[in-house]
Chains A and B, each alone.
Chain A
Amino acid sequence: MRLELHGITKRFGALTANDRIDLDLRPGEIHGLLGENGAGKSTLMNILYGLYQADEGRVLLDGEEQHFTGPGDAMRAGIGMVHQHFMLVPVFTVAENLMLGHEQARLGFLDLPAARARVREISARFGFDIDPDALVEDLPVGVQQRVEIIKALSRDAQVLVFDEPTAVLTPQETDELMAIMRQLKESGTAIVFITHKLREVREVADRITVIRLGKVVGEAEPTASNSELASLMVGRSVELTVDRTPSAGGDTGLVVEGLTVLDARGHTVVDDVGFSVRRGEILAIAGVQGNGQTELTEAILGLQEHVTGRIELDGRPLTGLPTRRVLHAGVGFVPEDRQEDALVAEFSIAENLMLDRSDGAPFVKGAGLQRRALATFASEKVREFDVRAQSIETAVGRLSGGNQQKVVLARELSRDLRLFVAAQPTRGLDVGSIEFVHERVVATRDAGVPVVVISTELDEVVALADRIAVMYRGRIVGIVPGDTSRDVLGLMMAGEVPEGTRMAA
């Protein structure tokens, strides 16, 4: 099936998320859609899938104009989508998820055996090993994604959209996914592969369309170089590495020993983890999302309930302390979900800058706020951290992701730190902001602070780390030097340590 998008325009209020975008797709082709976070890729695909209505433009299938009012229409027309955030009901089984929306029924009762057979049949075609009766919430993300793929294929999708499918996968799983895409392509399916990772799109795509700020800025062949694609995507030439000297390496700052964290259901989410970080050193914690990194950082900050083991900062114990005391001990923290955990969206920039200092000088005296002191401080930080906003009174919720993150950094780095913990500090940021954040992290290290960076992006880990600890299923698989090869790191992220790997702990 041949798909054409003509002049698609979509506005959200004043923001034009898609600006007259053209795209065409032929059967048996993998079309890479490359763009930074916020470029408008998901919006475009949601329009194709009927989830959003375009303000202008046309969608043609085999030359015929389509008017999708909902995903049901799009699916009937043969369009399938593997969503960035999986659209699976966690408490349903694989078979139930597969049949949802187009249930086969006998005398009004669900025909589960038919759905199971369908799961098995499609699984067999791709060599998946999926139990149709497994609950989706019990499956690892990589498998959940396969369930999504099966779901789309069970509707005989001719056009399949993969929206940032590799974000939750290990490098090995990513390779497997690419093999699946090629297999689908062989069988005549047209594929849109959305990503912001250059390497992946070059490896698998037949053609590449680059989107920036809602506009198509160019087409490229997969033979184009990384830096060509990157400058097309960002609009200027970018340095793909961070300038940094090797770590000076001071005394030990943070020591974690035998740390175990249980979640509310009593499952072990962090399992006997131990490491130490010297002053003036960056330890990166790598791993696929959901392998205990979140809980580990929260345990350090005193945000987890069932924690055993030892956490020590400069020889003083942090274990069991309430979060306020942990912060007072000189810990700076960038949480991974900045909108949820780091900022109050309705508060102004200035108010957000004093969120963790509401209990005394310099911003609070008695019960009153020191507005003047706060304003001076905020103006200074906004300048120093290059926060682009109309004024310090602008609500933080109205800033872009990059500027929000700068506010978080400004707050956390303006105290006297003895430890800096940054979880996913550049998730969802544009390249410019990523560079800025990385520079700041390195500067903090160079000021003699022990730094822990948690990241699921291998690029970031490699760019920043002096040493790398890889987490898998709550455990640290190994701690390796910062120059360890990506292949080795990839294997470690799947729980394997190749023979002869150099350790650094």
Chain B
Amino acid sequence: MTAVRAEPATTGAVAMQRPGLKVPIALGVFALLAVLLLALLAPAGTSTFSLSASGSGAVQLPQIPLHARTTGIVVSLLAVLMAIGSGLLVRAGRRVPLWYTVVFAVILVVGFLAWATAGHTLPVTGLLESALALSAPLIFGALGGVVSERVGVVNIAIEGQLLAGACVSAVVASITQNLVVGLIGALVAGVLVSFVLAAFSIKYVVNQVIVGVVLNVLVLGLTTFFYETVLVNASDTLNSPPRFANLPIPGLSLIPVVGPVLFDQSVITYLMYVAVVAVFVGLYRTRWGLRVRAVGEHPQAADTVGIDVGRTRFWNVALAGAIVGIGGAYFTLGSVGAFSQNMTSGAGYIALAAVIFGGWDPLRASLAGLLFGFASSLQNTLGILGSPVPSDVLLTLPYVVTIFAVAGLVGRVRGPAAAGRPYLKG
């Protein structure tokens, strides 16, 4: 018996694949913008970055004054150097690593903040806290999206699941005055939406994208109708739920900046941390994850080893709904309390973008959720401080970031092979 050759059969030698010029060009454009805007058009004045926590008790930190023009010059210089550096990397035939781009982005963001808040005090901790708050539902949504798509069902209905979770949790928690029951209500609501998605797309083989969109419209219509006819008139009894209080984790919550941002949060946020880790570890290290991925990649192969494809899909779509539903509760029980119509306002679609941007990986999808949350938070903060950027333009910021992220960095990633395709047995 001859030794087996281990090279791919379909391909000859791997051609020296030249890393694209896309990244250096993008960095270059941003560096030029930085030079123009941050250095040449810098406003006079100084921006103060305040690092203390909003609440009292934590260690008080110094305020960092940043002179707008000086910061602008330093930042744009760094940006230009890094852009050139990336160009050199590519010329040497190497890829620009992800951390390089991230560092570049962070530097630019700092420069932009100093520019935009010249003459004001920028509450950095508050900015980050609100970033996490705004990303929480996105991260739950993205996790649900990852689970659902990994098992082979495209989940456009994240938006509907979030909205249903928000509405039901508010009402249930108001009636019972019990937060845990409210959370369970959100979970059940998400699962119910999932059941419809699963039944139509798995059993009746209706196009999954269409079912998802229809579900979103349906949930929006139902909750709006319910809100206007019932909740508005009975807001005391049906729409005034208690809210989750913050539970600072002893010790950890005292760390400067990081502590208040990450470890002085409500139970839902801690649940989110658990969910991210659980989905990540579960997907790659457990029997459940192996089967989920097999069914989403090659359902027929899963079938031939005795895995029930339909059932696996059905219950994991339900699980995805449960995760997203909890994210919905964050809108109400986790932040403002009362439900209002269309209060998710498209978060589900942003979560969907995070799924794709994160390459169907739970960890990276969560990071993408954080990025989008940060963009929203930035827009809020700048709006409040009264920055030189018109507020209408600011409002588009999260969506612009989403589009750039998805359009620019995707393409390389490959989704689950059988996502969106129904499995029909012979």
A contacts, CB < 8 Å to B: 46, 49, 51-52, 70-73, 75, 81, 83, 87-92, 96-97, 99-103, 105, 108-110, 126-131, 134, 137-143, 146, 151, 172, 176, 179, 262-263, 265-271, 288, 290-292, 473-475
Q: For the complex formed, measure the closest distance between the CB of B243 and the CB atoms of chain A, giving whole angstroms.
A: 34
CB-CB < 8 A to B56: which residues of A?
none
Q: Is the C-beta of B62 less than 8 angstroms from some C-beta in chain A?
A: no
Q: Is the C-beta of B2 less than 8 angstroms from some C-beta in chain A?
A: yes
Complex CA distance for A99 and B5, rounded to whole angstroms: 23
Residues 14-58 of B contacting A (Cβ, < 8 Å): 14-15, 17
Known: A138-B8, A268-B13. A110 touches B290 (CB 8 A): yes
Q: Is the interface of B mostly helix, strand, loop or mixed?
A: loop
A87 adjacent to B304 (CB under 8 Å): yes
CB-CB < 8 A to B12: which residues of A?
267-271, 292, 473-475
A–B complex contacts, Cβ < 8 Å, 28 sampled = A51-B303, A71-B305, A72-B307, A75-B306, A87-B304, A87-B305, A88-B298, A90-B297, A99-B290, A103-B287, A105-B287, A109-B285, A110-B287, A130-B4, A131-B6, A138-B7, A139-B9, A140-B9, A143-B4, A179-B1, A265-B17, A266-B14, A267-B12, A268-B13, A268-B15, A269-B11, A271-B12, A475-B12
Those 10 A-B pairs whose CB atoms lie nearest each other, nearest first: A72-B306, A101-B305, A140-B9, A474-B12, A266-B17, A267-B11, A87-B301, A103-B287, A127-B1, A271-B12
A101 adjacent to B306 (CB under 8 Å): yes
Q: For the complex formed, measure the closest distance between the CB of B394 and the CB atoms of chain A, giving whole angstroms.
A: 39
Known: A52-B426, A87-B300, A268-B12. A128 touches B4 (CB 8 A): yes
Q: For the complex formed, measure the closest distance between the CB of A455 and the CB atoms of chain B, giving whole angstroms.
A: 18
A75 adjacent to B285 (CB under 8 Å): no
B1 adjacent to A267 (CB under 8 Å): no
CB-CB < 8 A to B5: which residues of A?
140, 143
Complex CA distance for A447 and B16, rounded to whole angstroms: 44
Q: For the complex formed, measure the closest distance between the CB of B16 and the CB atoms of chain A, giving whole angstroms.
A: 8
CB-CB < 8 A to B290: which residues of A?
92, 96, 99-100, 103, 110
Q: Which of B291, B306, B426 has the most CB of A within 10 A?
A: B306
Residue of B nearest to A151 (CB): B305
A101 adjacent to B9 (CB under 8 Å): no
A110 adjacent to B285 (CB under 8 Å): yes
CB-CB < 8 A to A176: which residues of B?
1-2
Q: Which of B4, B6, B303 has the most CB of A within 10 A?
A: B4
CB-CB < 8 A to B9: which residues of A?
139-142, 288, 290-291, 473
CB-CB < 8 A to A131: which residues of B?
6
CB-CB < 8 A to A268: which residues of B?
11-15
Q: Is the C-beta of B308 less than 8 angstroms from some C-beta in chain A?
A: yes
Q: For the complex formed, measure the closest distance between the CB of A450 and the CB atoms of chain B, giving whole angstroms.
A: 26
Q: For the complex formed, measure the closest distance between the CB of A86 and the CB atoms of chain B, giving whole angstroms.
A: 8
Q: For the complex formed, measure the closest distance between the CB of B418 and the CB atoms of chain A, giving whole angstroms.
A: 10
Residue of A nearest to B7 (CB): A140
Q: For the complex formed, measure the closest distance between the CB of A408 and the CB atoms of chain B, giving whole angstroms.
A: 25
A139 adjacent to B305 (CB under 8 Å): no
Residue of A nearest to B15 (CB): A268
Q: For the complex formed, measure the closest distance between the CB of B101 and the CB atoms of chain A, giving whole angstroms.
A: 21
CB-CB < 8 A to B417: which residues of A?
90-91
Neighbour of B14 across the interface among A102, A108, A142, A267, CB < 8 A? A267
CB-CB < 8 A to A108: which residues of B?
286-287
Residue of B nearest to A261 (CB): B12
Complex CA distance for A379 and B285, rounded to whole angstroms: 61
A71 adjacent to B6 (CB under 8 Å): no
Residue of B nearest to A475 (CB): B12
CB-CB < 8 A to B286: which residues of A?
105, 108-110
Residue of A nearest to B289 (CB): A110
B306 adjacent to A70 (CB under 8 Å): yes
Residues 278-322 of B contacting A (Cβ, < 8 Å): 285-287, 290-291, 293-294, 297-298, 300-308
Complex CA distance for A46 and B425, rounded to whole angstroms: 11
Q: Is the C-beta of B3 less than 8 angstroms from some C-beta in chain A?
A: yes
CB-CB < 8 A to B1: which residues of A?
126-128, 176, 179
Residue of A nearest to B282 (CB): A108
CB-CB < 8 A to A271: which residues of B?
12-13
Residue of B nearest to A131 (CB): B6
Residue of A nearest to B299 (CB): A89
Complex CA distance for A266 and B11, rounded to whole angstroms: 10
CB-CB < 8 A to B17: which residues of A?
265-266
A71 adjacent to B13 (CB under 8 Å): no
Q: Is the C-beta of B229 less than 8 angstroms from some C-beta in chain A?
A: no
CB-CB < 8 A to B291: which residues of A?
100-101, 103
Residue of B nearest to A288 (CB): B9
CB-CB < 8 A to A70: which residues of B?
303, 306, 308
Complex CA distance for A266 and B303, rounded to whole angstroms: 33
B6 adjacent to A139 (CB under 8 Å): yes
CB-CB < 8 A to B11: which residues of A?
263, 267-269, 473-474
Q: For the complex formed, measure the closest distance between the CB of A498 and the CB atoms of chain B, giving whole angstroms.
A: 15
CB-CB < 8 A to A138: which residues of B?
6-8
Q: For the complex formed, measure the closest distance between the CB of B4 and the CB atoms of chain A, giving whole angstroms.
A: 5
